[in-house]
Structure 1
Amino acid sequence: MDLFRKKSVDQLVSESTPLKRTLKTFDLTMLGIGAIIGTGIFVLTGKGALTAGPALCISFLLAAVCCGFAGLCYAEFAAMAPVSGSAYSYAYLAFGELIAFVIGWDLILEYALQAATVSAGWSGYFNKLLEGFGLHLPVELTAAYGTTPGVTTYFNLPGFVIVLIITWVLSIGISQTKKTNDIMVMIKLAIIVLFIVCTVWYINPANWKPFSPYGIYTFQPGSTQPYGIVPAASIVFFSFIGFDAVSSSAEETINPNKTLPRGILISLAVSTVLYIVMTLIMTGVVPYKEFANFIDAPVAGVILETGLNWLAFVVNLGALIGMTTVMLVQLYGQSRICYAMSRDGLFPKLFGEVHPKYRTPFKGTWFFGILTAIAGGFININVLFELVNIGTLSAFIIVSAGILWMRKTQPDAHRGFRAPGVPFTPICAIIFCFILICGLNWETWVRFAIWFALGLIVYFVYSRKHSALNEPGLF
């Protein structure tokens, strides 16, 4: 049996879908911004500042350039084959079934781990918001076991509950998901703009000197963690993960040939500008070394430095909304990847069953939503977040290489959008992805290899035998 059997563009496009088409360019842009703007600003800017100093804005720009090149490749594939599945479907088209399964398997891990990781950050901000009203949850229920040094915790109740609520919203229909996300993103953007307007006056240019204290890449004496612009870019790359989930909505998008590329690229551009402005302001208000005092809540630390205490409540609310939209888009993307893989026979049919009323992959959405909630509730997964980065970077490399291959093997295929500068654009995407992967530690590579091996076992034990591309009567 051919491990690299492919689907054609016509096969992908002609596959009927019962999903409801309601998403427009504005909705896709909000979906992308909802996925990107959240953890990066409200959590990762602290660790990023300690790693790169004020040059963190360059790190964000480097990560954005990497995503920009990859985003152009995603946009071409999305316009060529507007189907659910994102990088999984594109790999099926370009390289065949085995590579497609591996990428789909990686994306499932990416989306689940990011949603579970963000639920831990969401819980922290939620507890702070409750404290502002004089309310306190039992400390044992505020975080997963062993998450907070010196504090006995067993279960992250707020994180568990918010994931289940988001799963419920996703399961009852894309229209409800769209409206919920659009509203939350608009509120989040308004709060970020308010923060910028209120804190820009407190910038001290002296805090930007030296601008790049650790250079491009260096090791500090006694530390195994690299410092500098590139390592910080590898960390904050986590912030941009999510725009690829926009392409997962292809079968629920109106006129996907035009709206998908626009949604992907506009959301990336808006998010990049906001990240750069925010990091310049934050490192301008607070010396970068002082972020060690509030690494888990860097934005709140900046507010305390300005004395604008009234702004703290508003920003906490913005952080909650921001991280909620990130989890919503990640869980949405995960359910659509599983839906596509189930339809192709690589996953059990359970994950591809569409609810007759809500017209969503109802059972698959709840299955992975509950697993993600349990993971975020019980497991200290903060040490695993770099797995999300390596899985996503691998998908970016495959998609970018796929553009090169498709331009060579199928130059006349219909493309509603053509990535400019090919082969320069996909080659740059691949190079930037490898640079960022090199900034990850060796433990991440080991964990990724283990997950990869588990995926191969699943493929050869189940998926290969049940693939929809099998010849009749072969098994």
Structure 2
Amino acid sequence: MEYFRKKSVKELVEQSTPLRRSMRTLDLTLLGIGAIIGTGIFVLTGKGALTAGPALSVSFVLAAVCCGFAGLCYAEFASMAPVSGSAYTYSYIAFGELVAFVIGWDLILEYALQAATVSAGWSGYFTKLLQGFGIDLPVQLTAAYGTTPGVTTYFNLPGFVVVLLITWLLSVGINQTRRANDIMVGVKLAVIVLFIVCVVWYVKPSNWQPFSPYGWYSFKQNSTVPMGIIPAASIVFFSFIGFDAVSSSAEETIEPRKTLPRGILLSLAVSTVLYIVMTLIMTGVVKYPEFSAFIDAPVAGVIVKTGMNWLALIVDFGALIGMTTVMLVQLYGQSRICYSMSRDGLFPKFFGEIHPKYRTPVKGTWFFGILTAIAGGFININVLFELVNIGTLSAFIIVAAGIIWMRHKHPEMQRGFKTPGVPFTPLIAIVFCGVLIAGLNWQTWVRFAVWFVLGLAVYFLYGARHSTMNKPSESAITAH
């Protein structure tokens, strides 16, 4: 049995199921912004500021550059293979079935854990918003067991419910999903701009000194936790995860060879500018060590420092909207990855069945939506966001390497967008991803290895046997 058998772009396009095409460049850009801007601003800036100080803005630039180079590679693949599946499909074309399955398995973990992790942050902001109206939820139902030291909690009810609501929205059609996302991203951006305009006047340049208290990489005395710009970049990289999910919408996009690259790169550019501006303002208003007092809600803490309490309610609402769009795009991307893998026979057909009315993979969407809701409701997964990062960085490395391979082996293939500076641009992406992976702790490597081995077991016990590639003469590109 050939484990590195490949599929041609022509074959993938012919096998694709005609989902409902309705998304244009603006929709894809907003989809990307919806996935990127959320947890990064409203949650991770607190931990990031404690790790890098005011130089957190440099950490965001470093993470953005890494994603930018990877985004250029994604853009070329998206224009070359306009079908669902993102890095999974691209790996199938470049490196063959086994690598594709591993990356698909990796992406399922990435999307599920990110959505579940964000649901925990969403629950915290939702609880605070209700308290502003005099409504108190039972504390035992506001977070997973053991999430908050000294507080007895059992179940994250708000997070559980919001994931199920998003799953329902995804299941009833891409038009409804697109409209909801466009509206929520518009509201989120308006709230962020309002925060910037109102708070920038409270910036004290003296709070930016020292600008980089821990340098690029160092350790505090008697501590094994890495500090500095690179470790902070490894943390806030989580903020940029999501733009790759845009490429999963290929079969629901109008003129995907043109619109997908534009949507990917525009969403990255807009999000990076907003992240840099927000972190400079926040560390300029509040001295970086003080973020330890409100690490879970750093934006709210900055507002309290300014005394503009009226703005806190608006920002809480904006945070809820922001994190909702992140979960929406992650669950959307996850369902499309599973749909693609099912269509190729690597997952059971159940995950790839298209609803005749909604033209969406309803069963697969609900299956993983429920699992994600349960994970966010019961499991303390705050410590696992680095596992999301290492999975995503691994996918980026494979996609970047795939561009070099495809340019060498198949230069004749049609490309609506070409990554500039090949092979140097993909190589830079690989190096940056490697640097960020090096900033993660060893426990993350162990967890990732366990998931990797489990994925190999699923492939050899099921995927390899049921692959559609077992049928003769199905691939136009043979293994090289």
SS of the residue 1:313 aligns to? helix
- TM-score if structure 2 supplies the norm length? 0.98
How much does 1:9 deviate? 1.5
- After superposition, give the CA deviation of every residue in 1:254-274 in whole Å (9 maximum; x if it has no partner): 000110000000000000000
Partner of 1:156: 156
Partner of 2:405: 405
- TM-score if structure 1 supplies the norm length? 0.99
How much does 1:14 deviate? 2.0
**Pairs within 5 Å for 1:131-210:** 131-210=131-210
Q: Is the 8 A contact 2:112 2:330 kept in 1?
A: yes
2-structure distance, mates of 1:18, 1:419: 28
1-structure distance, mates of 2:402, 2:117: 30
Q: Does 1:426 align with 2:451?
A: no
- After superposition, give the CA deviation of every residue in 1:410-466 in whole Å (9 maximum; x if it has no partner): 011100100111111100000000000000000000000000000000000000000
Partner of 2:415: 415
Partner of 1:217: 217
2-structure distance, mates of 1:444, 1:60: 21
1-structure distance, mates of 2:212, 2:156: 37
Amino acid at match of 2:27: D
Partner of 1:297: 297
Partner of 1:374: 374
SS of the residue 2:20 aligns to? coil
Partner of 1:460: 460
Q: Is the 8 A contact 2:43 2:297 kept in 1?
A: yes
Partner of 1:277: 277
Q: Is the 8 A contact 1:69 1:426 kept in 2?
A: yes
Unaligned runs of 5+ in 2: 474-480
**Pairs within 5 Å for 1:15-26:** 15-26=15-26
Partner of 1:5: 5
Partner of 1:238: 238
1-structure distance, mates of 2:407, 2:129: 52
Partner of 2:445: 445
Q: Is the 8 A contact 1:18 1:354 kept in 2?
A: no
SS of the residue 2:179 aligns to? helix
Amino acid at match of 1:187: V
SS of the residue 1:149 aligns to? coil
2-structure distance, mates of 1:37, 1:177: 17
2-structure distance, mates of 1:302, 1:226: 25
Partner of 1:88: 88
SS of the residue 1:248 aligns to? helix
1-structure distance, mates of 2:212, 2:166: 40
2-structure distance, mates of 1:262, 1:416: 11
- After superposition, give the CA deviation of every residue in 1:76-98 in whole Å (9 maximum; x if it has no partner): 00000000000000000000000
Q: Is the 8 A contact 1:46 1:297 kept in 2?
A: yes
- After superposition, give the CA deviation of every residue in 1:42-69 in whole Å (9 maximum; x if it has no partner): 0000000000000000000000000000
Partner of 1:121: 121
Partner of 1:364: 364
Alignment RMSD: 0.8
2-structure distance, mates of 1:225, 1:16: 47
How much does 1:16 deviate? 3.4
SS of the residue 1:269 aligns to? helix
- After superposition, give the CA deviation of every residue in 1:161-217 in whole Å (9 maximum; x if it has no partner): 000000000000000000000000000000000000000000000000010000000
2-structure distance, mates of 1:18, 1:353: 12
Q: Is the 8 A contact 1:33 1:268 kept in 2?
A: yes
Q: Is the 8 A contact 1:9 1:93 kept in 2?
A: yes
2-structure distance, mates of 1:357, 1:70: 36
Q: Is the 8 A contact 1:29 1:262 kept in 2?
A: yes
Amino acid at match of 1:119: S
> Aligned residue pairs: how many?
473
2-structure distance, mates of 1:471, 1:325: 40
Q: Is the 8 A contact 2:104 2:337 kept in 1?
A: yes
Partner of 1:286: 286
2-structure distance, mates of 1:58, 1:421: 24
How much does 1:472 deviate? 5.6
SS of the residue 2:358 aligns to? coil
- After superposition, give the CA deviation of every residue in 1:213-234 in whole Å (9 maximum; x if it has no partner): 0000001111111000000000
2-structure distance, mates of 1:48, 1:362: 38
- After superposition, give the CA deviation of every residue in 1:123-172 in whole Å (9 maximum; x if it has no partner): 00000000000101111101001111111111000000000000000000
Q: Which runs of 4+ in 1 moved over 2 A?
A: none
Q: Is the 8 A contact 1:24 1:254 kept in 2?
A: yes
Amino acid at match of 2:230: V
Partner of 1:321: 321
Partner of 2:478: none
Amino acid at match of 2:412: D
1-structure distance, mates of 2:235, 2:311: 27
Partner of 2:476: none
Amino acid at match of 2:4: F
SS of the residue 1:83 aligns to? coil
Partner of 1:345: 345
Task: Report percent identity of matched pairs.
Answer: 80
**Pairs within 5 Å for 1:238-277:** 238-277=238-277
How much does 1:12 deviate? 1.4
SS of the residue 1:414 aligns to? coil
SS of the residue 1:440 aligns to? coil
How much does 1:18 deviate? 2.8
2-structure distance, mates of 1:215, 1:151: 36
Q: Does 1:41 align with 2:41?
A: yes
1-structure distance, mates of 2:224, 2:297: 24
How much does 1:372 deviate? 0.2
Q: Is the 8 A contact 2:16 2:83 kept in 1?
A: no
1-structure distance, mates of 2:134, 2:375: 29
Q: Is the 8 A contact 1:37 1:239 kept in 2?
A: yes
Amino acid at match of 1:34: G
Q: Is the 8 A contact 2:36 2:241 kept in 1?
A: yes
SS of the residue 2:433 aligns to? helix
SS of the residue 1:469 aligns to? helix
2-structure distance, mates of 1:9, 1:175: 27
SS of the residue 2:449 aligns to? helix
Partner of 1:57: 57
